[in-house]
Structure 1
Amino acid sequence: MNKSAYFGWTIGSFTSSALVSAVGLLHLRFMTDSLGIAITIAGALTVFAKVYDAFADLLMGYVSDRTRTRFGQFRPYLLAGGLLAALSMALLFNVPGSLSGSALWLYVGLTLLIYSTAYTMFRIPYLAIGRTLTDDFHARSRLMTFSVYGSSLGSFAATSAAPFLLGQIGSDRAGHGLVAMILACAIALGGVLSFTLLKEPPAAKRNEHEPRKPAASFGATFTALRANRPFLCLMGFKLVLFAGFAVHISAIPYYTRHVLGVSDSVLGTIFAVQTGMMVLSQMAWVRLAARMGRRNALVLSGVVCTFAYLTWALIPSDAAIPMVFIAAAMSGAGTGGVFLGLYTVLTDTMDYSKRTQGEDRAGMLAGVFVMVEKGTSALGTFAFSMIMAWVGFQSAIGSGPVAQPEGVHTGILASVAIVPALGAIIATLIMTRYHLPAATPQASEVSTAPEPLST
């Protein structure tokens, strides 16, 4: 592999991570604390968009598997999806001030649908193209570490730099709008660069003179997916772990504002520490995977996440510093192992599908992979919004109310610590049942440390 493939893969991960992290972290609170939308309505709008997105993922995977263009099978979607994603980011946080009531809800709902469509259009082809970049087992492990690096940079831009900027210019509607425009420019550039740098090899393009196999129906495709037991086990792990993770992420902006009573600069620092640990932990996770196997390393990352989430419950609200940063560091280390393991194991299950079932379903598997991601995000957002509604959270227009009912603190603490810890425990138990039969002695569940880039 050459340097452009590594850089393009990193930039693609940055682009999708910056988009989903910014919306996932800030948009729900933006709706409740700046637009004045009730938490139940805001949660319902978010869940509706994510449910739509989950079904769109399947369609995108099905379509991308059957796309043939002179630019490649997956590359065109990187450009189109990246540009549409930038537009959606600008629209989500720049809401016309004249809108209110049902007109405001309609605007928010439509912009969430545009965002969901853009993310699907970019993310699924990006995941699928990764399998075409190299057939070498160990090269894929190295490639996936760059995906985590890109994801960490995107997460830093959205969850650290953006809150830092909000802390400086103000966390009102105008401040959110300006930050969104800056992120939109970065996302658009990322889409263009990933399209330019990621080149699908000739083997990934269909020869026009070769007879084409008839396209499998949705029913036949899902039958094949159900037969892929390693993939189903991986999705079970991701489903449960990410549902708890979504509750955790949704709660943190409320935790810093309504429990700790600090500015968004502290929120940015929390995610800067978490992102830094995600990056720094990569070499350790790669070596652990090489020593103990990919499955076991992924199980270990689930255990680390469990202890990290429980640490949040032990933080005293009147003396949170530096305990909150220690908890963030632990979360970053565990999450770094989870993301590295998920990406590497996903490509293994794609190979397993082609080896045992005879048809390349990389796009469809990527579609289900992202669909689960969206579904768990919807479930987590819905659970958090219902918890907040149950404990009596009060929405407001501006930068949020000064005081909340006493039960709100308990609800936020349960959401930031207890619920995600339970999810991590269950997910870890699910992953212990994962087993991938090897095609060759080399293709066992091992990894290797990244090597220097070569041309």
Structure 2
Amino acid sequence: MRLGYAVGSFCSANFTTIPGLLLLYYMTNVLAVPALLAGIVVFLPKAWDLIANPLVGQWSDRTTSRWGPRRPWLLAGAAVLPLFFALMFIGPPLKGVPAGIFVGVMFLIAATGFALYEVPYKAMPAEMTTDYHERTSLLQWRMIFIAVSIGLSGIVAPLIAGHTVDGYRTMGIVFAVILLAAMIGSFYGTARAPFTGQQQSAGSLRAQLRAARTSKPFLWLLGLSSAQTLAAGVMLAGAPYFAAYTLGDPDAKTTLFAALVGPMLVTMPLWVWLARRMDKRGAMVLAGSLFALGDLLAVGAPTLGSLYAHLAVVVVGVGYAGLQLLQFSMLADVIAYDGAVSGERRGGVFTGLWTAAENAVAAFGATIYGAVLALGGFISSDPENPVTQPESAHTAVIVGLTAIPAVITILGVWMTLKYDLSAERLATITASEPAPEPKGTPETAAPEA
């Protein structure tokens, strides 16, 4: 069951990482799209998620089927996302603004397919176990798959893409197949997963959104997670530029990603242990602090060289591993807390809002980085017409990758201190305010999963 659920992370991580890492660079350095426009193109389809994701969450909350409330939506996403992901990188015979518009439309449709899949997928852990720490163990497997997936998207995808239109086209097709296999695999892999959820949610979407807004733990968690995701989005967008213009080696983005992903593969058991010893909030503060420290250390890369830069990214990677694991485990706690208080199944609405914010702020990271490049006078180009960047553009590359993410991450650490849903509080709420008996027939109350 754990592995069956975790395989879906190949979809989640690849679709988040590849556009975040390569799409801005693909437009500015292959399709000659102006940097500011390219940043806007990356962001706008994700802004659509702010509308689409809560709707998908409500639909999945209200779904009843022999497959359970969430799993049919995994198939719906699989019918849309892989095809339009491939078209994003198909390399149209266009340059500049028209090319940017084409990529933006394909990205918008792909993002809609991702919402159909990802929102129900993220709601499932809260309904698969009632144990506070078991959720962290369950999501540990997901984080391992995410680490492998980030390795694929951060190392293999750039190697396939290279610096040509044909390379990006091939990469898009290869990873579209991987996305499809992961989405179908998670559907079948969760066929026997337990379902411990509540009755269907009642009321309009507006009423459910109001309930989410009045959940203090959810709002603080959403804020701290958005800060960390925004910082990571800025760094992802900046990685290819950092490799090419700061380290002087465009291919170094693959080894930088190896430095980021490596800690995720080996530190997950450590973060699970720290979450038990320090509670999840304490472990999250530590993870965010390490992430910010690594960002600040990377400021010295132009002087101290490539090896130093890679070591700084390792520090970022250790913190990033903890952030990835803990925020999703805490989201499952928030959904369980709401279910214990309300007696209703509203996890889809919570994960819809969460995923919308996550996608939007990650994409906004690329917009921020594109704006920093534009302010620094960065000159867009294509492989046939290389250009020499001004010194101000080189400065923008390093400032955008280091100082800006560090400041955002420190803000996230401060918000983490305001989050107060501990294991003891959740246990007390669950014991003192048991959920009402589900209404309707047993089949309606607890669909087969």
Answer whether contact 1:72 1:205 (CA < 8 A) is retained.
no
User: How far did 1:69 drift?
Assistant: 2.3
Three-state SS of the structure 2 residue aligned to 1:261 is coil
- 1:369 corresponds to which of 327, 345, 354: 354
Q: Quick check: 1:26 aligned with 2:22? A: yes
User: How far did 1:58 drift?
Assistant: 1.3
Structure 1 residues 404 and 100: CA distance shift in structure 2, 3 A? closer
> Which moves more between the two structures, 190-199 or 237-246?
237-246
In structure 2, what is the equivalent of residue 171 of structure 1? 163
User: How far did 1:138 drift?
Assistant: 2.9
In structure 2, what is the equivalent of residue 325 of structure 1? 310
In structure 1, what is the equivalent of residue 244 of structure 2? 257
Answer whether contact 1:28 1:42 (CA < 8 A) is retained.
yes
In structure 2, what is the equivalent of residue 425 of structure 1? 410
What aligned pairs does 1:221-260 form with structure 2 within 5 A after superposition?
221-260=208-247
User: How far did 1:165 drift?
Assistant: 3.3
Partner Cα distance (2:102, 2:249) in 1: 31
Structure 1 residues 189 and 404: CA distance shift in structure 2, 3 A? same
Answer whether contact 1:388 1:412 (CA < 8 A) is retained.
yes
In structure 2, what is the equivalent of residue 385 of structure 1? 370
Q: Quick check: 1:311 aligned with 2:297? A: yes
Three-state SS of the structure 1 residue aligned to 2:168 is helix
In structure 1, what is the equivalent of residue 178 of structure 2? 186
State the Cα deviation string for residues 125-173 of structure 1 (Å, max 9, x = none): 110112222223332121110111111111111001122334xxx4111
- 1:360 corresponds to which of 339, 342, 345: 345
Counterpart code for 1:342: Q
Structure 1 residues 418 and 406: CA distance shift in structure 2, 3 A? same
Partner Cα distance (1:358, 1:24) in 2: 38
Structure 1 residues 23 and 301: CA distance shift in structure 2, 3 A? same
Counterpart code for 2:107: L
- 1:275 corresponds to which of 261, 266, 276: 261
In structure 1, what is the equivalent of residue 136 of structure 2? 141
Partner Cα distance (1:138, 1:128) in 2: 17
What aligned pairs does 1:386-405 form with structure 2 within 5 A after superposition?
386-398=371-383, 401-405=386-390
Answer whether contact 2:237 2:369 (CA < 8 A) is retained.
yes
In structure 1, what is the equivalent of residue 152 of structure 2? 157
Structure 1 residues 82 and 150: CA distance shift in structure 2, 3 A? farther
User: How far did 1:441 drift?
Assistant: 6.2
State the Cα deviation string for residues 311-358 of structure 1 (Å, max 9, x = none): 1101135x5221121112111100010011101111110011111223
Partner Cα distance (1:233, 1:51) in 2: 21
Counterpart code for 1:241: Q
Q: Which runs of 5+ in 2 are unaligned?
A: 432-449
In structure 2, what is the equivalent of residue 448 of structure 1? none
Counterpart code for 1:250: A
Count of residue correspondences:
429
Q: Which runs of 5+ in 1 are unaligned?
A: 207-211, 445-455
Answer whether contact 1:82 1:118 (CA < 8 A) is retained.
yes
Q: Quick check: 1:93 aligned with 2:89? A: yes
Q: Quick check: 1:70 aligned with 2:72? A: no
Three-state SS of the structure 2 residue aligned to 1:62 is helix
Partner Cα distance (1:403, 1:63) in 2: 51
> Which moves more between the two structures, 398-407 or 85-94?
398-407
Q: Percent identity?
A: 29
User: How far did 1:239 drift?
Assistant: 1.8
User: How far did 1:306 drift?
Assistant: 1.1
- 2:288 corresponds to which of 292, 302, 312: 302
Answer whether contact 1:34 1:400 (CA < 8 A) is retained.
no
In structure 1, what is the equivalent of residue 189 of structure 2? 197
Partner Cα distance (1:159, 1:400) in 2: 26
Structure 1 residues 90 and 367: CA distance shift in structure 2, 3 A? same
Three-state SS of the structure 2 residue aligned to 1:281 is helix
- 1:126 corresponds to which of 121, 128, 131: 121
TM-score by length of 2: 0.90
Counterpart code for 1:309: D
In structure 1, what is the equivalent of residue 445 of structure 2? none
Answer whether contact 1:313 1:413 (CA < 8 A) is retained.
yes
State the Cα deviation string for residues 109-131 of structure 1 (Å, max 9, x = none): 21011121121111111101122
Counterpart code for 1:361: R
Structure 1 residues 195 and 104: CA distance shift in structure 2, 3 A? same
> Which moves more between the two structures, 194-203 or 113-122?
194-203
Q: CA RMSD in A?
A: 2.1
- 2:108 corresponds to which of 103, 113, 119: 113
In structure 2, what is the equivalent of residue 415 of structure 1? 400
